[in-house]
Homo-oligomer: A and B are copies of this chain.
Amino acid sequence: MSTDIGVAVIGAGYWGPNLVRNAQATPGMRLEYLVDLNEQRARTVLGDYSTVRVSSDLAAVLADPAVHAVAIATPAGTHVEVALAALAAGKHVLVEKPLASNWADGAAVVHAAEDAGLVLMLDHTYCYTPAVQHLRALVRSGELGELQYLDSVRINLGLVQADVDVVWDLAPHDLSILDSLLPDGVVPVSVSARGSDPLSCGQVCVAHLSIELSNGAIAHVHVNWLSPTKVRTTIVGGSRKTVVWDDLNPAARLAVYDRGIETLDPSTLGADVRNQTRVSYRIGDMVAPALPEKEALRTMMAEFHAAITEGRPALTDGRSGLRVLALLEAASESLRNQGVAVPVAGVLA
């Protein structure tokens, strides 16, 4: 239909098929092309029964007025070039993480989109899971109290890659979640990172990031390509409640604990107990909230559609992608300097 937003998915590799499937299923969107340098690969993704067009000619696709937006799932090193070309052709852009391989390039893409008045959105898929959306509401509504610590573990037997280390491969997930959770006024201050390359393959395969937040809390991220078991668990500790998010436990992804420790005002205590009883414990119930069963990628694609039609930034807009890049750059510099704390670059002017 003429009112549908025409979309081209660019890149038929690992992630492209997911974008193809969800673009097709999103009301108000029409998938026009699947673009890949290897047309045969694109055809295989679509299967023998599809009416979607295949192309290896990006320029021609960007010149087609039926295409209003592109979803970029090409190799990370090409994101900036493809995104800038699409923006120059007046197309809205959805791009896989990371936005760019460095902060400066990312900022250029953000500026280009803002100057052109086009939507630039990062596919930070996890931010659209029912679990993270619930968690975000808990943190930002104040129900958790003050954020005390965050601990994120994302480990698995992973694909050791030639051009990217485990931090740039996996940590964007954790960092974009962190970015979306942080209450107003709390920002990352510095990053200390240690990593190792026990396979001697030229890339850090195991890494630990400690991110100091402006309220004094520490957010820690453990990413690891060598773990024989898969763990995807994030603990968000608050002064009132604490949440454990176990993404691999479909029966209870979120567990909200009404538990914690509180410091007591010493002036209210007798001298004899003042030393021992500086804290009190609160051991309450655990609640696993019922979460809707929704595919995050579907929600993400709907947000892309809504941002375009409503002319507003997406939840995970270009600037959120840029904040993640700032953390990644700081982590890399700390890794190269044996864990020294590296300040996080300021936000875009």
Contact = CB atoms under 8 A, between A and B. Distances in A.
B49 A198 contact: no
Interface in A250-272: 251-252, 255, 257-263
A276 B163 CA distance: 10
A205 B257 CA distance: 18
Interface in A324-339: 338-339
Interface string A313-349: 0000000000000000000000000111100000000
**Chain A's interface: helix, strand, loop or mixed, by majority?**
strand
A157 B283 contact: yes
B229 A237 contact: no
Contact of A198 (B149, B151, B155): B149
Contact of A224 (B149, B196, B198, B279): B149
A210 interface: yes
A164 interface: no
Interface string A83-99: 00000000000000000
A149 B242 contact: no
Nearest to A20: B49
A310 interface: no
Interface stretch (A55-63, A118-126, A211-219): A211-219
A228 interface: yes
Interface of A: 24-25, 30-31, 47-52, 146, 148-149, 151, 155, 157, 159-160, 162, 190, 192, 194-201, 205-206, 208, 210, 212, 216-218, 220, 222, 224-230, 235, 237, 239, 242, 244, 248, 251-252, 255, 257-263, 275-276, 278-279, 281, 283-290, 338-341
Given A229-B244, A284-B290, 12 more contacts: A49-B50, A149-B196, A157-B281, A160-B279, A190-B338, A192-B338, A194-B218, A196-B212, A201-B278, A208-B210, A208-B218, A248-B251
